[in-house]
Amino acid sequence: MTTTDRVQSEFAERHMHTILARLAGPSAVPRVDQVDAVHAVLQPASRVLVVQATGWGKSAVYWAATHAIRSTGAGPTLVVSPLLALMRDQVSAAERAGLKAATVNSTNIDDWDEVFQQLDADAIDVLLVSPERLGNPRFAARLGALLARVGLIVIDEAHCISDWGFDFRPDYQRLARALLSTPTASVLATTATANERVTLDIGKQLGANTVTFRGTLARTSLTLSVVPGLSPLQRYAWIADALEQLPGSGIVYVLTVSEAERLTAFLRSCGHGVDAYSGQTDADMRLKVEDRLRHNQVKAVVATSALGMGYDKPDLGFCVHVGSPSTPVAYYQQVGRAGRAVAHAEGVLLPSDADERIWEYFATASIPDPQTAAKVLQSLGGDERSLIEIEADTGVRRGRLEALLKILAVEGVVDKDGSAWRATGVPYEHDTAKWTALAQVRQQEAGIMRQYAQGAGCLMAYLQTALDDPSPAPCGRCSVCTGHLPFPGLAPSQEKLIAARNFLRGMDVDIEPRKRWPSGVGRKGAIRGFDLGRAVAFADDPGWVAELQALRLAPGDMPPDLLAGALATLGRWAKTWPARPVCVVPLPAPDMTANRVLAEHIARKGRLPLHDVFSWRGESAPDNTASTPVVSHLESAISLASGADLPAGPVLLVASTVRTRWAATVAAALLREQGASQVLVLALHLQP
């Protein structure tokens, strides 16, 4: 080592010790590679990638580098962070490290001018931004001047900029590309969840001279377990039992928003202090839930992946998954939240056969279809169009359309001004080889998680191998190594099973009415259709799994428990009706067998007249598409008998299954036009 290198290394080590003392106490010592990483970052215009396990101290590296850079009079550090929860924790951590930090994101727009003034006065050491800020004209206008001044750019959770990453985000990649163009500032990318393919891709994006620090991903404090073979109902009961003994407080991960809300409600009915957390939780409530968990005011938070990257609770005692993520990287990222600063934590997976249907949706949603891209660009033409207009014109469903537009924006093919999209004139060139390879990787990763859930070997070593850890080894602690399952093992209590079944079968599922007709159909404006709707079950409802499966296999042979459930739902719902229905009408469908069986049963039990007044012409309505083609088809397919003589008053419209709600909406509109004063919809199963 030259004298210059030694001096620089000592400089890096001094600042690393200063930051660690502020964050963890005066006795804290740097981990292996922390000082070397800081030293590498301090080199002029360096490019550094740090891939280390959660809890290793990646943030301490960039706080120490910032502290060192600012001591030389250089500009502030710009941290790009993908989650609001992560930014809040990082602001707090930076201030504990003695650094003045501020953030620019979608929740504090009123504070931006003050933040920019502080930047101009060189009064901020760290500025944290969300990736979507590049699309905001106010921020984009300042980006050039900001990049000319910053001393360090940090891309946190850097796997998000890789197409191969489990949580790839086009907005994030787009911003990263803009930031990487700076010729003067150093760039540090950090992640805990990158296999070799992702690591190489990030390194390629950073540049040929990237210095990579990568350590083992093993977590000695974390005991991993898989509890196989549980039914959906048993999984609910298992969680209710397990929360009585699991250590400390923790996170229960689920795959969907509806599951988070449903499981939270059940656990609360059992007396457990739990909160729900998802992408649909508003910003203020998210902050409250995060704080309650951080201060152990709840036993658990039942969360989707919205609560994950960067959430800072070092003493998290457990992480239980009700349903498996689709990739080992995603699973490691989530389960790795537990056991960072405690001697023992539990990471438990409760897999389900239904998981793979959800995997398939998310695996394909992130891959663009060239025909769909061509359709979207043709729709844009030379005009600016809103998302709703593009959806109506192309027939592409909202979620997939938004994902596609973000990818096209990264490629420079489209641009967004406010709420309007426009084509830039750059042609779209579909990289078939790349997207085909990505689809194959997604399939391989799903296979890995399938084997993990089957206990194919040491669970920790399996995750290490899947993430290309340089030194995988059996942990000696997991359920495969020891043959021991955490309480309650394979047999949740009968008490909790009965409680789960009764609770779930007593839940009311609302069917929200549609509000406005889509453009391009016969009817216009506000909808005058059904007023209220209720369903017995929603999605893969754990309380009705067997009955819903039987209904799918034999629609005309209605399970008695579902018929009883329909009557129970009506009984609870009827207490809120302004008036009792005067008749029952089966919803029109290509095959009306199940709807007629249900309508006849309700009419007989409720002593109401049955009016089978609808007919269906032609094929089923198109599936997995936007509203306009669906409603256009329904308007031609559904007809009301010309001689239909309905009694005056409310009508109960019943169906075995409702999904898009458009068939019920069109049928209800026809009933209202025929004179019905109100239409109420009852379904056995509301599908997502």
The CATH number of the domain holding residue 113 is 3.40.50.300
- Domain count along the chain: 4
Q: Is the separation of the CB atoms in 315 and 266 below 8 Å?
A: no
522 in the same domain as 485: no
Stated pTM of the model? 0.82
The answer to the question of residue 441 being in a domain is no
With left for phi above 0 and alpha for psi between -120 and 50, is residue 162 left, alpha or beta?
A: beta
- The verdict on whether omega for the bond into residue 488 sits within 30 degrees of 0, i.e. cis, is yes
pLDDT, tens digit, for every residue of 282-315?
888 988 999 999 999 999 999 998 887 667 788 9
Give the residue among 584, 587, 589 at the shortest CA–CA distance from 605: 584
pLDDT, tens digit, for every residue of 552-588?
999 889 999 999 999 999 999 999 998 999 999 999 9
Euclidean distance between CA atoms 665 and 681, whole angstroms? 9
Q: Per-residue confidence at 440, pLDDT binned at 50, 70, 90? A: confident
Q: Select from 504, 521, 537 the last residue of a domain.
A: 504
388 in the same domain as 483: no
The proportion of the chain whose per-residue pLDDT surpasses 90, expressed as a percent, equals: 60
Whether the pLDDT of residue 248 is over 80: the answer is yes
With left for phi above 0 and alpha for psi between -120 and 50, is residue 579 left, alpha or beta?
A: beta
Give the residue among 373, 525, 345 at the shortest CA–CA distance from 435: 373
Euclidean distance between CA atoms 612 and 434, whole angstroms? 53
The answer to the question of residue 354 being in a domain is yes
Query: In this predicted structure, what is the pLDDT of residue 363?
Result: 64
The answer to the question of residue 105 being in a domain is yes
229 in the same domain as 180: no
| Residue 640 C-alpha from the chain's centroid | 42
The CATH number of the domain holding residue 394 is 1.10.10.10
Euclidean distance between CA atoms 206 and 181, whole angstroms? 9
**C-beta atoms surrounding 443 within 10 Å:** 14
The answer to the question of residue 573 being in a domain is yes
Q: Which two tokens stand for residue 267?
A: 């656990």
Which is it for the CA torsion 279, 336, 25, 49, positive or negative?
negative
Least confident of 80-94, 412-426, 503-517, 538-552: 80-94
The CATH number of the domain holding residue 602 is 3.40.50.2020
527 in the same domain as 455: no
424 in the same domain as 389: yes
Whether the pLDDT of residue 264 is over 90: the answer is yes
pLDDT, tens digit, for every residue of 588-627?
999 999 999 999 999 999 999 999 999 999 999 987 788 8
Grouping H, G, I as helix, E, B as strand and the rest as coil, residue 139 is helix
Segments of 94-239 assigned E as strands: 101-104, 126-129, 152-155, 186-191, 211-214, 222-226
Query: In this predicted structure, what is the pLDDT of residue 193?
Result: 83
Query: In this predicted structure, what is the pLDDT of residue 483?
Result: 95
Query: In this predicted structure, what is the pLDDT of residue 513?
Result: 95
Q: Is the separation of the CB atoms in 13 and 34 below 8 Å?
A: no
The answer to the question of residue 439 being in a domain is no
Structural domain span for residue 141: 3-214
Contacts of 483 by beta carbon, 8 Å cutoff, 6+ apart: none
| Residue 435 C-alpha from the chain's centroid | 22
Q: Select from 214, 239, 270 the last residue of a domain.
A: 214
Averaged over 374-395, what is the pLDDT?
88
Which is it for the CA torsion 242, 243, 247, 253, positive or negative?
positive
Query: In this predicted structure, what is the pLDDT of residue 362?
Result: 64
Query: In this predicted structure, what is the pLDDT of residue 135?
Result: 64
The answer to the question of residue 246 being in a domain is yes
Euclidean distance between CA atoms 65 and 350, whole angstroms? 41
pLDDT, tens digit, for every residue of 126-155?
999 887 776 677 777 888 888 888 999 999
**C-beta atoms surrounding 256 within 10 Å:** 15
Query: In this predicted structure, what is the pLDDT of residue 1?
Result: 61
Contacts of 409 by beta carbon, 8 Å cutoff, 6+ apart: 170, 174, 415, 416
195 in the same domain as 106: yes
Q: Per-residue confidence at 172, pLDDT binned at 50, 70, 90? A: confident
The answer to the question of residue 265 being in a domain is yes
Q: Select from 489, 504, 519 the last residue of a domain.
A: 504
142 in the same domain as 78: yes
Among 141-145, 192-196, 319-323, name the most confident range.
Answer: 319-323
Query: In this predicted structure, what is the pLDDT of residue 134?
Result: 63
**C-beta atoms surrounding 269 within 10 Å:** 14
